[in-house]
Amino acid sequence: MQRIKKVLKRSGFVVGLVRAFRAGLLDLKQIYWAAIRGRKIQAYFAANPVRKLHIGASNSLLPGWLNTDFILEHSTVVYLDATQPFPFADDTFEYILSEHMIEHIDYAAGEAMLRECFRVLKPGGKIRLSTPDLRMIAGLCAPERTEAQNKYVDFILGRVLPGVKECKAVFVVNNAFRAWGHQFLYDPQTLRHAVGSHGFEDLRDYKSGASDDPNLRGLEAHGKTLQNEEINQFETIVVEATKPRAQKVS
């Protein structure tokens, strides 16, 4: 039986069938999730006069926010494929939050998401994005590393690469690109360009958890997921931006 299992695991045909079966199950789930989301959205709107959209909520469910995701782990979360047109009217939300999500889709899909975010935000509404900082990740390969960089390398090795003993930083950098479904990593300049090129203004950089707006303060949960806030602060960039208010006609 062990030999048969090994042969089956190496079979492209069998592996393809399993993947197709799993993809088919996910398709059916998403059809169902899309069919029932309308009443969830309306219930949220009825209960929340200040409307806030949380994209890629995962297990971080925020009170008072419409928590959405592509794969639902909780019954209260609403299905949303952020790369496709959003099921909301123009100028619907006062706030949009997306934490460590945009790096899981490619750059073109990220642009599609930002266009939809701009559309569904009310004039004067704010978007807040957080994502890993490519500048910090790439900097790990510098000839000499800081104490913070060494701590980060050791943390990632201990968490997901325990077998690596040599060329540690190289493995950590490669892991950042290849693991967790990452598709595109941003540095601060590229993230600001992506956000600003879709019409947002007043772009501001923040530390994770910090904001001048109390509605956007203390929301990020990535540090709790890592169980290490110092590592979260090292690897995360945060940008807030505002949708311009409508121009007055003179």
Domain boundaries, the chain: 47-133+186-242
Q: Which CATH number fits domain 47-133+186-242: 3.40.50.150, 3.30.300.180, 3.30.1550.10, 2.60.120.330?
A: 3.40.50.150
Q: Worst-scoring range by mean pLDDT, 22-36, 167-181, 210-224? A: 22-36
Residues 163-179 have a mean pLDDT of 95
Quote the mean pLDDT of the chain: 94
Quick one: pLDDT at residue 110?
A: 98
- Tell me the two tokens of residue 135: 């500048």
Residues 64-82 have a mean pLDDT of 96
Q: Is pLDDT at 98 greater than 70 in this prediction?
A: yes
Quick one: pLDDT at residue 247?
A: 57
Residues whose CB falls within 8 Å of the CB of residue 87, separated by 6 or more in sequence, listed in order: 37, 38, 41, 80
Q: What is the DSSP letter of 185?
A: -
* Helix H or strand E segment including 238: strand 236-242
* C-beta atoms surrounding 250 within 10 Å: 3
Which residue type sits at 214?
A: P
Quick one: pLDDT at residue 119?
A: 98
Strands 121-132 and 66-69 come out as: unpaired
Which residue type sits at 13?
A: F
pLDDT band at 250 (very low <50, low <70, confident <90, very high): very low
pLDDT band at 168 (very low <50, low <70, confident <90, very high): very high
Quick one: pLDDT at residue 16?
A: 83
Quick one: pLDDT at residue 242?
A: 98
d(CA 4, CA 158): 34
pLDDT band at 27 (very low <50, low <70, confident <90, very high): confident
Quick one: pLDDT at residue 22?
A: 85
Residues 21-46 have a mean pLDDT of 91
Q: Is pLDDT at 4 greater than 80 in this prediction?
A: no
